Amino acid sequence: VLALGGASWPQTGSDGHWTQFMTAVGVRCVPFAPANCGAEVAWSAFFKEKVGRAPLKNIALSCGGHTVSGELMLTDYGLEGTPVYALTPHLRAALAQGQPAELHLNLKPDLAPADVQRRLTRRRPGDSLATFLSSAFSLKAPVPTLLRELAAPAADLAASLGALPMPVVGLRPLAEAISAAGGVAFSEVDNKLMLRQRPGTYVAGEMLDWEAPTGGYLLQGCMSTGAWAAKAIINEQ
């Protein structure tokens, strides 16, 4: 049973170099790519200096019709956090095809659009954006700066609060990713996870081309594929 790991966090000893051997013996491997990783956003120099690193709590992030709620961390290079990790496959697919990769941030996902509109009517002529967002929506720094950074000059504030566009220019490197997509293609193994090219040799864990969100699913997948391969071997004795 081979369980040599993926290619993320190579300092732990699993760097994916085993794909060279697999390819040499005729086993097709899908190139490794970062999964569960941060997204890169081309912030302005002003934004980087003003915000640096700051959390956004109780938000919802969307991409390609998929929405994930949670906490987001703004960094000098872009975004980190569970919501963006969960949307990595959709971002990666868009970037690979040369298409625009864009996230949409809902800063108040628990409020219905009608409630947002109703609160917007409370803004007084003398209220600054920061003061108004704090009093009407309990949104404090860095939200005002984020809106100035990403919202179009004539953008409707309600639209910006509910679906602020965040253009993604790339993903963080594989060496920083929590996990990796890619590995031995499933077409190369049978339903017992035995290599078709090498009878008697089984593959388990992140060596296989699959990915899962964080939260225990990766560990479960690795242990389950290992148990499945072991069961197949025992049954053949």
pLDDT in tens, 106-138: 999 999 999 999 999 888 888 899 999 999 999
Other Cβ atoms within 10 Å of 37 Cβ, number: 24
**Considering its fold, how many domains does the chain have in total?**
2
Judge if 70 and 93 occupy the same domain. yes
Judge if 186 and 219 occupy the same domain. yes
Judge if 25 and 77 occupy the same domain. no
Owner of token pair 């004539």: 154
Residue 3 in any domain: the answer is: no
User: What residue numbers bound the domain in which 155 lies?
Assistant: 39-171
Residues of the chain with pLDDT under 50: none
What confidence score (pLDDT) does residue 122 get? 86
What confidence score (pLDDT) does residue 236 get? 86
Judge if 64 and 23 occupy the same domain. no
Judge if 213 and 108 occupy the same domain. no
Judge if 45 and 152 occupy the same domain. yes
Judge if 46 and 128 occupy the same domain. yes
Looking at residue 18, which CATH number applies to its domain?
3.50.50.60
Judge if 160 and 46 occupy the same domain. yes
Judge if 187 and 157 occupy the same domain. no
Burial class (CB in 10 A: 0-12, 13-18, 19+), 78: buried
Residue 1 in any domain: the answer is: no
172, 175, 171: which is closest to 14 by C-alpha? 175
Judge if 152 and 229 occupy the same domain. no
Query: Encoding tokens for residue 88?
Result: 């990595």
Q: Is the separation of the CB atoms in 110 and 59 below 8 Å?
A: no
What confidence score (pLDDT) does residue 78 get? 98
**Amino acid identity for residue 152 in this structure:** A
- What predicted TM-score, i.e. pTM, was given to this entire model? 0.89
User: For residue 229, what are the contacts with CB-CB under 8 A and spacing of at least 6?
Assistant: 1, 192, 193, 194, 202, 203, 204
What confidence score (pLDDT) does residue 149 get? 95
How many CA atoms within 13 Å lie on the side-chain side of 1?
18
What confidence score (pLDDT) does residue 154 get? 63
Residue 52 in any domain: the answer is: yes
Residue 2 in any domain: the answer is: no
Judge if 43 and 30 occupy the same domain. no
